[in-house]
Amino acid sequence: MSKDTQYKSKVSDSNGIIHWTDEENQVWSELFNRQIDLIQNRACDQYHEGLDLLGLSSDGIPQLPELNNKLKKATGWQTAEVPALIPFSEFFRLLANKQFPVATFIRTREEFDYLQEPDIFHEVFGHCPLLTNPAFAQFTHTYGKLGLSASKEDRVFLARLYWFTVEFGLVNTAQGLRIYGGGILSSPGETVYALESDTPVRKPLDPIDALRTPYRIDIMQPLYYILEQFDDLFTLSEMDLMALVAKAKEQGLFEPLFPPKEKKASGQN
């Protein structure tokens, strides 16, 4: 994971409180109000239940100690205040200890619509509500423990499974297809695109397929994997995922469904 970032996370005081500016709280409020309308009939019920349990609102950026009290009671999880970007090893260590990393900065207005780095809106609004759900919490914990002991090569395969579930997963429900991936839930464009566009491919989740599927972080996803039901995350967490990684490595990667990333110009004539 690259450590290059233009953002600098804020540090909490001795009480765990971060002193956000009025502008930063206003950015959160506008992001929240825009997104809460979009997800009403698009996010899964488990997400909405978690949102209510955490009491997230447009009033301002929530303080992590308040979230931690509610997460602890629900599933034993906590948030962890981190710099803007952290190494994979630290990411897995935190998840293995039931701590979800939250970068304590919020995007600027210049990057209001799209940000390649995970800010506090993405982490808290996108992911924290589902950490109140036992199935999601168990899968994320299992993923962290596996990643912590995995080789560097195997971590790259595991990252794909995380991408197509925790970040960009869809799930079948009695009401139709719904979103549970935090990367979608914190993005206005992708919230609509993931469910309603005719462009992307949508396939039932096969763990080995997900492990073999390349992705890019800077485009609308060309492919989404669908859980048959939300509690399949329990089943997934109980599989021998490292054995599946070994099979995925043997079979090799699928051809990407996206063009290669354009190289930046060198600046030379």
Asked if 1 contacts 86 with a C-beta cutoff of 8 angstroms, the reply is yes
What is the maximal distance between C-alpha atoms in the chain?
61
Phi, psi of 176 (to 5 degrees): 115, -170
Asked if 49 contacts 133 with a C-beta cutoff of 8 angstroms, the reply is yes
| Helix or strand holding residue 204 (H, E) | strand 201-204
Give the whole-angstrom CA distance, residue 104 versus residue 96. Answer: 21
Give the whole-angstrom CA distance, residue 139 versus residue 234. Answer: 6
3-state secondary structure of 214: coil
DSSP 43: B
Asked if 54 contacts 100 with a C-beta cutoff of 8 angstroms, the reply is no
Q: Show the tokens assigned to 238.
A: 């109980």
3-state secondary structure of 77: coil
Residue 13 corresponds to which amino acid? D
Asked if 166 contacts 178 with a C-beta cutoff of 8 angstroms, the reply is no
Q: Which residues are tagged catalytic?
A: 122, 127, 167, 186
Say if residue 122 carries a ligand binding annotation.
yes
Say if residue 167 carries a ligand binding annotation.
yes
Residues that constitute the known binding site for Fe cation: 122, 127, 167
